[in-house]
Amino acid sequence: MAEMVGPRLYSCCNCRNHVALHDDVISKAFQGRNGRAFLFSHAMNVSMGPKEDRHLMTGLHTVADVFCSDCREVLGWKYERAYEESQKYKEGKFILEKSKIVKENWSNNRDVLSQTPRASASSSSGLTFELSFNFASKSFSGPNNPTSEAISTNNYKATDPNNVEDKRSYEGKKNEWKP
């Protein structure tokens, strides 16, 4: 039987709530309030604080603090607006501080996220697993993590976490995803 592998995740260091996917890392070369930080295209199971203007190392930005939706730990911030043209690529992206997140499902012999097999399309091994992501920019829902409150939603389902064709593909349009 083929070994099924779940997605590599980042979780809140305080409560282990899933907050980001490794596939959504844009850069690991950012600076947070407390040291190194990662830039993500999306975050999940988070809530936002009020928008405010901050003078950061790269200029003036409008940002909103990002909190874990379970324990309310401040994890980083979301770039809402960049005032300098060279920084516009950050708009809508998330900074999560390395000291505030931990890796999940990263070993070579990773455990499968416990998913219930469902009748639908099947993988080459004949097994069908269904993962459900509720992008907010996204919140993960499944048997180990009930759906949390989302800011805005776009749904995506992958039937086989090992099948590259089943993984989400980004069409270059903000928040437009397809299986």
Residue 100 lies in a domain: yes
Residue 116 lies in a domain: no
pLDDT in the model for residue 131: 42
- CB-CB contact of 39 with 51 (8 Å): no
pLDDT in the model for residue 2: 53
pLDDT in the model for residue 105: 86
Domain that holds residue 45: 10-104
Residue 159 lies in a domain: no
Residue 149 lies in a domain: no
The whole-angstrom separation of Cα 88 and Cα 101 is 25
> Which CATH number is 72's domain given?
2.170.150.20
Residue 155 lies in a domain: no
In the 8-state DSSP scheme, what is residue 104? E
Residue 95 lies in a domain: yes
Residue 59 lies in a domain: yes
pLDDT in the model for residue 6: 80
pLDDT in the model for residue 125: 45
pLDDT in the model for residue 106: 77
Residue 137 lies in a domain: no
3-state SS track over 60-91: EEEEEEEEECCCCCEEEEEEEEECCHHHHHHC
- Specify the number of domains making up the chain: 1
Mean pLDDT by 10 residues, the chain (179 residues): 74 97 96 96 98 95 98 98 97 98 74 34 41 40 37 35 38 37
